[in-house]
Amino acid sequence: MKSVKYILLISILLLGIVFLATLPGTMRKSKTEESTTASASSQTSEQSSVSLNTSVADGSSAIVVGGEPESSASSSSGGGDAAVDKNEWAFFLINQTHPLPDNYTFERKAVQGKFEMDARCADYMINMLADAKKAGVNLNIVSAYRSVEYQQTLLDNDTKKYEKQGYSHEEAVKMASQAVAIPGQSEHNAGICADILEAGSYSLTEDFEKTDEFKWLSENAAKYGFILRYPKGKEKITGIEYEPWHYRFVGPYYAQKIKDSGLCLEEYYEKEKGTN
């Protein structure tokens, strides 16, 4: 019996010695695995952080959507006409064959003194006047928005002038309407144009084309969305005599294209819209 007890005791002692001998290695292995897991996790986190920071740095306010950087800058500027504000609302004809609808309404805003324009294009005019002044050019608006009733008064006055010269009423109206549009057929009634002269002048004559103000407008008006509406040599197409003082808003996009084309609005509109 004693020999059995000794054998059991010796076995227990041997197992204890083996356990103690293998314990440090087991602990080292566990710590190594924990360290490796933590390192991998840290590396993944750092890579994710670097990836996000790179996207923001390279993408100019980039927004990460579905793992792909989508630049808000690229969606709002450059790269085609889709991002350009064409002011489509202002690209239409008003003339003898394209009168304003009876229910045409819009908000007005003052652009210089008492003169008002459609609020949607008023700031373009205000900026143009201000920038011209900075360049030493003083532009003076002598007419902008007109009510249909006031337009009729102007037409009647011109008609009477020709009647006094011996023309019949029909002839007088026809001649008057080449300078003053029929009410409802005038761009002034829509608030999208202005008659502009040099400061201190109120005489609407072709002599305006000899001024520094006309030169500045010829070079810069398109940048602000305005075109010379009734150019020289296009009288038969526009139905209106040459008016170097009359500037019409169509927006910078179309203004530059019309200027570069050498066409009047009727010609360009027909080309663009395919109207007859």
Count of H-run helices and E-run strands, the chain? 10, 8
pLDDT at 178: 85
Q: Is the pLDDT of residue 26 over 80?
A: no
Average pLDDT estimate for 92-112: 95
pLDDT at 16: 62
pLDDT at 52: 30
- Closest Cα partner for 216 from 87, 130, 112? 130
Helix, strand and coil in the chain, % to nearest 5: 55, 15, 30
**194 touches 111 (CB < 8 A):** yes
**242 touches 206 (CB < 8 A):** yes
Q: Is the pLDDT of residue 96 over 70?
A: yes
Residues counted in the chain: 276
> pTM for this one?
0.68
pLDDT in tens, 27-76: 444 444 444 444 444 444 444 333 333 332 333 322 222 333 333 333 33
DSSP strands (E only) in 40-138:
62-65, 68-71, 108-112, 115-118
pLDDT at 251: 98
- Closest Cα partner for 183 from 100, 60, 112, 114? 100
Domain boundaries of the chain, sorted by first residue: 2-73, 86-146+186-273
Which has the minimum average pLDDT: 4-13, 119-128, 164-173?
Answer: 4-13
pLDDT band at 180 (very low <50, low <70, confident <90, very high): confident
pLDDT in tens, 228-265: 999 999 999 999 999 999 999 999 999 999 999 999 99
pLDDT band at 15 (very low <50, low <70, confident <90, very high): low
Average pLDDT estimate for 261-275: 91
pLDDT at 179: 84
pLDDT at 87: 97
pLDDT at 273: 86
What residues are labeled active site? Answer: 243
Contacts of 124 (CB under 8 A, 6+ apart): 224, 225, 226, 249, 252
- Closest Cα partner for 94 from 195, 192, 186, 228? 186
**Above pLDDT 90, what percent of the chain?**
64
pLDDT in tens, 183-238: 999 999 999 999 999 999 999 999 999 999 999 999 999 999 999 999 999 999 99
Task: For residues 255 and 248, give the distance between their C-alpha atoms in angstroms, rounded to a whole number.
Answer: 9
**Above pLDDT 70, what percent of the chain?**
69
Q: Is the pLDDT of residue 174 over 80?
A: yes
Average pLDDT of every residue of the chain: 80
Half-sphere exposure of residue 147: CA atoms within 13 angstroms, side-chain side: 3
The fold adopted by the segment(s) 86-146+186-273 is Muramoyl-pentapeptide Carboxypeptidase; domain 2 (3.30.1380)
